Amino acid sequence: MSALVTALLAGLGRRAAFYGAIAFALFAALWVAFRQGRHAAEADLAIRRADARIRALQTSKEIRHEVQNADRTDLERRSHRWMRD
pLDDT at 85: 58
Q: How many helices (H) and strands (E) does the chain have?
A: 3, 0
Q: How high is the pLDDT of residue 12? A: 66
Instruction: Please state, for a pLDDT cut of 90, what percent of the chain lies above it.
Output: 51
Provide mean pLDDT across the span 49-75.
93
pLDDT of residue 55: 97
Q: Does pLDDT of 8 surpass 70?
A: no
Beta carbons within 8 Å of 28's beta carbon, 6+ residues apart: 1
Question: What mean pLDDT do residues 21-32 have?
Answer: 95
Is residue 9 pLDDT above 60, yes or no?
no
